[in-house]
């Protein structure tokens, strides 16, 4: 039986109060920490499992009764990645968003989690603002999928571009959303997924350790978003604000060379805009770094994780003119 229950949280107008969250973590301290933080964020219906096997048994026995699942990666009996994979083969729970909770930041663990079907991750100890943002994004992904299914039942189609609420305020209505792109991925058949390549773009040098205030970083993201939103992309491509300083373009049927060309157009557009950021000592021109994850038959989640790792490395080294290609042999 679950060890959690209903929580009396603080009322927040910007968060829906009726979503049920399931948390699976073998630590009673972590469970209490999750309950307290979710209550303060306004989530009033939280169910906790300390045993992954008990959680899986509950998932297998009944219809989907949650809007979001939080899974700890490091657990005895069955780790969170294996549990995630098992949840994804249960029809009723296949599309319920899953966020992994981890103190590990190695790319192998994150790649395995994405391959198992996780939608996102949050590192421990939690940053409450980050946790809230990622939960809201995943909850809106579920809402988008629910709307699409309802539209299909009515004989209509709801497009991903209608979902804009999960974008940060400074980029809303400028580019597409992470949730809409994830919904597109989920709606693709296997053949289309295998033909889809991605470009991941990252804004260089806007981390707090570079002496930028949060308001300055938000303003840089907003300015870059407006600039890249003006870049023309081929029909059928999807371009979204993925998370914080990351943007993602997905293109079906594009070659590596075509993906590189798309990336360079975005990089050149930001260079031409001559945007600047100001740290403690000087002004610096805003630049983009880019990584390519070509279609290679691998999973989209794994390709995306590889591309994010590559673009983070490129951005750290200030190689904004370099497009890093994630080759097929790099995939696992």
The pLDDT tens digits for 111-126 are 778 878 888 888 887 7
Q: Could you tell me if 258 and 170 lie in one domain?
A: yes
pLDDT over 60 (residue 7): no
Contacts of 297 (CB under 8 A, 6+ apart): 194
C-alpha closest to that of 263 among 213, 196, 323:
323
Q: Could you tell me if 183 and 323 lie in one domain?
A: yes
Q: Is residue 164 included in any domain, yes or no?
A: yes
Instruction: Residue 118: give its domain's CATH number.
Output: 3.40.50.2300
Q: Could you tell me if 186 and 112 lie in one domain?
A: no
Q: Could you tell me if 295 and 170 lie in one domain?
A: yes
Consecutive H or E run containing 199:
strand 196-203
Q: How many helices (H) and strands (E) does the chain have?
A: 10, 14
Q: Is residue 91 included in any domain, yes or no?
A: yes
C-alpha closest to that of 34 among 109, 122, 153:
122
Each residue of 164-209: pLDDT tens digit? 344 454 454 456 777 777 777 777 777 888 899 999 999 987 765 4
Q: 258: pLDDT confidence band, cut at 50, 70 and 90?
A: very high
C-alpha closest to that of 38 among 117, 120, 101, 104:
101
Q: Could you tell me if 172 and 49 lie in one domain?
A: no
| Cβ atoms 283, 316 nearer than 8 A | no
Each residue of 79-95: pLDDT tens digit? 999 999 899 888 889 88
Query: Could you give the CA distance from residue 187 to residue 141 in angstroms, rounded to a whole number?
Result: 12
Counted domains in the chain? 2
Q: Is residue 151 included in any domain, yes or no?
A: no
Q: Could you tell me if 168 and 311 lie in one domain?
A: yes
DSSP character at residue 220: H
Q: Strands 45-49, 20-24: parallel, antiparallel or unpaired by DSSP?
A: parallel
DSSP character at residue 169: T
Q: What share of the chain in percent tops pLDDT 70?
A: 75
Query: Which phi and psi (to 5°) does residue 256 adopt?
Result: -60, -45
Contacts of 205 (CB under 8 A, 6+ apart): 277, 279, 284, 287, 315, 318
Q: Could you tell me if 168 and 72 lie in one domain?
A: no
Judged by DSSP in three states, 240 sits in strand
| Cβ atoms 250, 184 nearer than 8 A | yes
Q: Cis omega (within 30 of 0) on the bond before 125?
A: yes
Q: Could you tell me if 225 and 298 lie in one domain?
A: yes
The angle formed by the CA atoms of residues 49, 112 and 50, to the nearest 5 degrees, is 10
Q: Is residue 143 included in any domain, yes or no?
A: no
Query: Which phi and psi (to 5°) does residue 279 adopt?
Result: -95, -160
Q: What share of the chain in percent tops pLDDT 90?
A: 26
Q: Is residue 80 included in any domain, yes or no?
A: yes
Q: Is residue 153 included in any domain, yes or no?
A: no
Q: Among 126, 150, 175, which residue terminates a domain?
A: 126
Per DSSP, helices labelled H in 209-327 are 214-229, 256-273, 300-316
Q: Could you tell me if 108 and 257 lie in one domain?
A: no
Q: Is residue 146 included in any domain, yes or no?
A: no
Q: Can you give the pLDDT at residue 9? A: 33
Q: Can you give the pLDDT at residue 26? A: 93
Instruction: Residue 229: give its domain's CATH number.
Output: 3.30.70.270
Q: Is residue 69 included in any domain, yes or no?
A: yes
Please tell me the pTM assigned to this model.
0.58
Q: Can you give the pLDDT at residue 13? A: 37
Query: Could you give the CA distance from residue 210 to residue 96 in angstroms, rounded to a whole number?
Result: 37
Q: Can you give the pLDDT at residue 155? A: 53
Q: Could you tell me if 122 and 241 lie in one domain?
A: no
Domain hosting residue 190, numbered range:
160-330
Q: Could you tell me if 174 and 55 lie in one domain?
A: no
Q: Could you tell me if 94 and 164 lie in one domain?
A: no
According to DSSP, the residues that pair with 324 across neighbouring strands are 291
Helix axis angle for 107-116 and 80-88, nearest 10°, is 20
Query: Could you give the CA distance from residue 181 to residue 241 in angstroms, rounded to a whole number?
Result: 9
Task: Dump the DSSP string for 1-52.
Answer: --S-EE------TTS-S--EEEEE-S-HHHHHHHHHHHHHHT--EEEEES-H
According to DSSP, the residues that pair with 248 across neighbouring strands are 200, 240
Contacts of 220 (CB under 8 A, 6+ apart): 203, 206, 212, 275, 277, 286
Query: Could you give the CA distance from residue 49 to residue 29 in angstroms, rounded to a whole number?
Result: 13
């Amino acid at each position: 039986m679950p060890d959690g229950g209903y929580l009396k949280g603080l009322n927040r107008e910007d968060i829906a109060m009726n979503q049920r969250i399931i948390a699976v973590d073998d630590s009673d301290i972590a469970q209490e920490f999750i309950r307290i933080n979710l209550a303060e964020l306004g989530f009033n219906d939280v169910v906790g499992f300390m045993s992954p096997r008990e959680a899986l048994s509950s998932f297998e026995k009944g219809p989907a009764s949650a809007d979001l699942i939080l899974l700890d990666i490091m657990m005895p009996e069955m780790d969170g990645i294996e549990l995630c994979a098992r949840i994804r083969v249960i029809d009723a729970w296949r599309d319920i968003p899953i966020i992994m909770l981890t103190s590990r930041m190695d790319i192998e663990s994150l790649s395995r989690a994405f391959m198992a079907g996780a939608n996102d991750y949050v590192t421990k100890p939690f940053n409450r603002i980050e946790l809230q943002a990622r939960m809201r994004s995943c909850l809106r992904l579920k809402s988008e999928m629910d709307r699409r299914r309802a539209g299909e039942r009515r004989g209509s189609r709801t497009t991903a571009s209608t979902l804009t609420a999960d974008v940060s305020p400074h980029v809303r209505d400028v580019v597409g959303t992470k949730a809409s792109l994830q919904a597109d991925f989920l709606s693709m058949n296997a053949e289309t997924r295998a033909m889809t390549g991605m470009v991941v773009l990252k804004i260089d040098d806007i981390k707090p350790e570079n002496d930028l205030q949060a308001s300055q970083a938000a303003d840089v993201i907003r300015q870059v978003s407006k600039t890249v939103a003006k870049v023309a992309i081929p029909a059928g491509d999807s371009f979204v604000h993925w998370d914080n300083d990351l943007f993602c373009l997905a293109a079906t049927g594009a070659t590596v060379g075509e993906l590189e060309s798309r990336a360079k157009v975005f990089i050149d557009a930001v260079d031409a805009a001559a945007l600047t950021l100001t740290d403690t000592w000087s002004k610096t021109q805003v630049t983009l770094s880019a990584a390519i994850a070509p279609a290679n038959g691998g999973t989209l989640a794994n390709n995306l994780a590889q591309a994010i790792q590559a673009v983070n490395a490129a951005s750290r080294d200030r190689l904004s003119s370099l497009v890093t290609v994630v080759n097929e042999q790099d995939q696992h």
